[in-house]
Amino acid sequence: MNQRKLRDLKAGESFMGFYLIKSKRVKTTREGAIYLDIDLQDSSGSLNAKIWSDVDKYQAEFERGDVVKVEGVIEEYKEQLQVRVKRLRKARPEDAIELTALQPASRHSIEQMEKEIREILAEVKNKDLQNLIKKFFDEPELVEKLKQCPAARNVHHAYLGGLMEHIWRMLKSAKALVKDVYPDLNYDLVITGTFIHDLGKLLELESTPVISISRAGYLEGHIVLGLKLLERLLREIKDFPSELRLHLEHIIISHHGELEWGSPVVPLTPEAMLIHHIDNLDAKLNMVIDAIDSDLNRAEKFTGYHQILERHLYKGRLKPESGNEE
């Protein structure tokens, strides 16, 4: 599919192309006029769009998750780019649209990340933890979900393969920190805990065709779902030590780090504390890099205000020296 990426569009440009409807909302202006507020998505990211006329017609034309053909103009409003939609229709079978061309995905090889994850997990010497890891990889459905699942709907690693990338980066950080800086920590527990801490997201998030939260995800959340998955895997392991089980459960329950961030308890062990901070670091860095790389106002030195990070980010990044890139 040969069309302009959303990330490459500039203010004042007209364009036409096929995009996914990431979100759709009916809103009202101060004067009481109804309009449609939508987010368009392709593999490069998303862009807000407005439909000001024929709202009733378009309201019935498409839903969230549909592929649509859009003709529009890029405008700038409050230092942010947005689309004024001129025409829109739902994609037809003869358009032969490939969904993968419209879905953001990890820039890293899924196969290579899986290989490196398995290699780090193979270093775990504790037989009970190795049995737990084996139980997970013995379920092809879980492994396939891990290859596709995002890490979040919007916040960080919100793209196909995002959860695998998040766990991969965390495992590499955890390995280096425990082996080189904190050797007194239980290496096997840190590595296994890092791997399982977010696996509840396999049951919380769905990614076809746009990222959404499952019914169980809304009603229980990924911490509870992660505990349930752990419990199911442990039921198949004979005489799994109760103390080790407690430590794993605590890592899952406390990995958000603060009560106000959604954890029922704060980290109370060194291993849980380390995993929380590695988790937070990787999530925050992903947000920073993504905000800088995806900012559509190319002429500005700073990004627009980031609601979660609560700051404008400087876009004058220094490129890594040759050979340091991943």
3-state SS string for 35-85? EEEEEEEECCEEEEEEECCCHHHHHCCCCCCCEEEEEEEEEEECCEEEEEE
Angle, helices 162-180/187-196, rounded to nearest 10 degrees? 170
Question: With respect to CATH, is domain 6-101 assigned 2.40.50.140?
Answer: yes
- What's the pLDDT at 295? 81
Dihedral (CA of 186, 192, 197, 198) sign: positive
CA dist 16 and 291 (Å) reads: 25
Instruction: Please report, to the nearest 10 degrees, the dihedral formed by the alpha carbons of residues 252, 255, 257, 259 taken in order.
Output: -40
What confidence score (pLDDT) does residue 241 get? 98
Q: What pLDDT score was predicted for residue 209?
A: 84
Q: What is the CATH number of domain 104-289?
A: 1.10.3210
Q: Contact at 8 Å (CB) between 29 and 70?
A: no
Per-residue model confidence (pLDDT) at position 304: 85
Give the pLDDT confidence score for residue 25 in this predicted structure.
Answer: 94
- Over residues 205-259, the pLDDT tens digits come to 988 788 999 999 999 999 999 999 999 999 999 999 999 999 999 999 999 988 8
Residue 1 confidence (pLDDT): 56
pLDDT band of 297, cuts 50, 70, 90: confident
First to last CA, the chain: 28
pLDDT at 322: 67
| Residue 122: predicted pLDDT | 98
Query: What's the pLDDT at 80?
Result: 81
Rg (CA), the chain: 22
pLDDT band at residue 155 under the 50/70/90 scheme: confident
Q: What is the domain partition of the chain in residue ranges?
A: 6-101, 104-289
- pLDDT, average across residues 90-102: 90
Whether the pLDDT of residue 128 is over 60: the answer is yes
Give the model's pLDDT for residue 325: 58
pLDDT confidence of 296, banded at 50, 70, 90? confident
What backbone phi and psi angles, to 5 degrees, belong to 287?
-65, -45
Per-residue pLDDT averaged across 122-129, rounded?
98
| Residue 262: predicted pLDDT | 80
Q: Residue-wise over 206-231: b if at least 16 C-beta within 10 A, else e?
A: bbebbbbbeeebeebebbbbbbebbe
How many whole angstroms separate alpha carbon 52 and alpha carbon 40? 16
Q: pTM for the full model?
A: 0.89
pLDDT category, 265, cuts 50, 70, 90? very high
What's the pLDDT score for residue 2?
A: 67
